[in-house]
Structure 1
Amino acid sequence: MYNFLPFAYFQDKIVPFQEATISIATHALHYGTLAFGGMRGIPDPQDPTQVLLFRLDRHCQRLSQSGKFIHYDISAEKIKTAIIEFVKKNQPTTSFYIRPFVFTSDLGIAPRLHNIDKSFAIYGLELGDYLSPEGVSCRISSWCRQEDISFPLRGKISAAYITSSLAKTEAVESGFDEAILMNSQGKVSEASGMNIFIVRNGKIITPGFEQDILEGITRDSVIKIAQDFGIPVVERPVDKSELLIADEVFLCGTAAKVVPVNRIENYYLPEHRPIAEKLREKLTAITENRDPDYRDWVYPISI
């Protein structure tokens, strides 16, 4: 059961969460014509009068770009202004997650993006650990990640998540925590809602954008942090067999943060995972605004 924040942003104003409702005939509900974002926020550990949002500008930019795929022109600045207003009104006191989204809000049955109303909304919920920080087990999904040739994978589009949902449920119902999806070429793509990294011989390796992955913001953060540590990062295709012999495997995403993988199928990975731990500790320090070198990634909001 989720604890939703008491207020939502809906129809260009702040309203009680329970009042932010749509019709069952809403176009986006039937055709997946919705683009969304997701970002983390926490009360500032050093200052109880403010909360901290992680990479707010980058998240707003990505949602603005994703909106273009459903033919909705919304500026990153408008999204940012609304999120700040939303956070100030809710005054969250614990770790939380924000879900801003744009969608086709007309009522009707014709699948289209032209001559149709669009809307922008935000809601949020309290959220601790999405996955266990001690590590997860993964199975290789029987479902394949979509291809960019038939789906706009550079956007965070809701329709894509039917594959993620199928893969996640398949994994959990067969005794695993998470799924790893391959792409149509048989290479590693991503997890159900996270990007994936492996470590081999002191190098971090991760599938590149050409492997039909989402352009993850936490992924981008992890790569930058690793490079600042002097850890080599290589973006290239990853084979299934590499997962099984890697020194470390870890997942990352806004909700999951950095989570190590303990087991893939019936292959157990090393318990010692110094690089994943180092990156997770650094990312935690950054999100808590304890690292002056990354202050521009943290946006404080007075409440």
Structure 2
Amino acid sequence: MHQFLPYAWFQGQCVPFEEARISIATHALHYGTGAFGGMRAIPDPQSSGSMLLFRADRHARRLSRSARLLLTDLSEATILEALTAMLQANKPQQPIYLRPFVYTSDLGIAPRLHDIETDFLIYGLPLGDYLSPDGVSCRISSWTRQEDRSLPLRGKISGAYITSSLAKTEAVQSGFDEALLLNSRGKISEASGMNLFLVRDGQLITPGVDQDILEGITRASVIELAKAMQIPVVERPVDKTELFIADEVFLTGTAAKITPIRQIESTQMNTDRPVMTALKTRLVSITEGRDTAYEHWVTRIPIA
């Protein structure tokens, strides 16, 4: 059973989680006309009384842009103010995951985005490791990642996640932890909710933004860190067979953080992952507010 934070942001204010209710006729419930974000917040290890949010500005910007794809105006400032109010109301004492969500709250039955009411909410729950830090097993999904010409994939549009759900369940029910999806051109796109990286001959390689991926914030952070650490980075199409001969393969995402892939289909992957380990160590240091070079990536919110 899930344990949610006591207070949610709902209809412009903090309310008890149990009171944040929507109608069964809500438009977004039927048509997937919503967009969400995912953020991690942790207690500040350096001082009590505050929470650390990783790249809060980038998360707010992406959600604001996702809302724009739904013809909705939701400013970055509004998102950050609501996040602050919610954290201060809940005063969490453990690492949490926050889910902001903008959606069509209208009760009409016509599938549309014009002349329709919208709203914005946030809830949260305690969250440790979403995937095993020891590594996950993956299969190549029989489901294909959608194309940008059919869905606005640069936003985290809720309706798009039916494919992720189908792929994830297919993987788990066939004995794997996670799914890797190909795009319509037969190239590796991403996992069910994470971006993918591989290492070959010292190069860090990841599918580019033209491969129907979500423009992940953790992905962008890893690329920026790698370049600063003098690790060559290449963004390009990735073939399925490259995964089986790669030196390292790992996933990135807000929930997944940096998670190694230990097996793809029947192939066992290398357990020596120096590039991934170096990047993960640096990213953990940043998210915990211990890396002065990247202080601007962390937002401290007082909750005491």
TM-score band, normalised by the shorter chain? over 0.9
The one-letter code sitting in structure 2 at the alignment partner of 1:61 is R
1:2 shift after superposition: 2.1
The alignment's C-alpha RMSD in Å is 0.5
What TM-score comes out, normalization by structure 2 length?
0.99
2:210 is paired with a residue whose SS is helix
In the other structure, the counterpart of 2:58 is 58
1:104 aligns with 2:107: no
In the other structure, the counterpart of 1:156 is 156
In the other structure, the counterpart of 1:116 is 116
1:180 shift after superposition: 0.2
Gaps of 5+ in 2: none
The one-letter code sitting in structure 2 at the alignment partner of 1:35 is A
The one-letter code sitting in structure 2 at the alignment partner of 1:144 is T
Partner Cα distance (2:150, 2:59) in 1: 24
Partner Cα distance (1:244, 1:88) in 2: 47
* 1:1-12 to 2 correspondences below 5 Å: 1-12=1-12
Partner Cα distance (1:155, 1:185) in 2: 21
The one-letter code sitting in structure 2 at the alignment partner of 1:102 is V
In the other structure, the counterpart of 1:89 is 89
1:167 aligns with 2:167: yes
Partner Cα distance (2:208, 2:295) in 1: 27
1:212 is paired with a residue whose SS is coil
* 1:183-262 to 2 correspondences below 5 Å: 183-262=183-262
In the other structure, the counterpart of 1:67 is 67
The one-letter code sitting in structure 2 at the alignment partner of 1:183 is N
1:124 shift after superposition: 0.4
Partner Cα distance (1:243, 1:3) in 2: 37
In the other structure, the counterpart of 1:77 is 77
What TM-score comes out, normalization by structure 1 length?
0.99
1:278 shift after superposition: 1.0
In the other structure, the counterpart of 2:20 is 20
Partner Cα distance (1:272, 1:74) in 2: 44
CA deviation string 1:103-153 (max 9, x = no partner): 000002100000110001100000000000010000000000000011100
Gaps of 5+ in 1: none
Partner Cα distance (2:212, 2:203) in 1: 22
CA deviation string 1:176-229 (max 9, x = no partner): 000000000000000000000000000000000100000000000000111111
Partner Cα distance (2:286, 2:117) in 1: 39
1:209 is paired with a residue whose SS is coil
1:262 is paired with a residue whose SS is strand
Partner Cα distance (1:23, 1:3) in 2: 22
1:69 shift after superposition: 1.2
1:46 shift after superposition: 1.2
Partner Cα distance (2:63, 2:220) in 1: 16
The one-letter code sitting in structure 1 at the alignment partner of 2:160 is A
The one-letter code sitting in structure 1 at the alignment partner of 2:88 is K
**Which consecutive segments of 4 or more residues in structure 1 shift more than 3 A?**
none
1:150 is paired with a residue whose SS is coil
1:193 is paired with a residue whose SS is coil
Partner Cα distance (1:301, 1:70) in 2: 29
1:55 shift after superposition: 0.3
The one-letter code sitting in structure 1 at the alignment partner of 2:26 is T
1:3 shift after superposition: 1.6
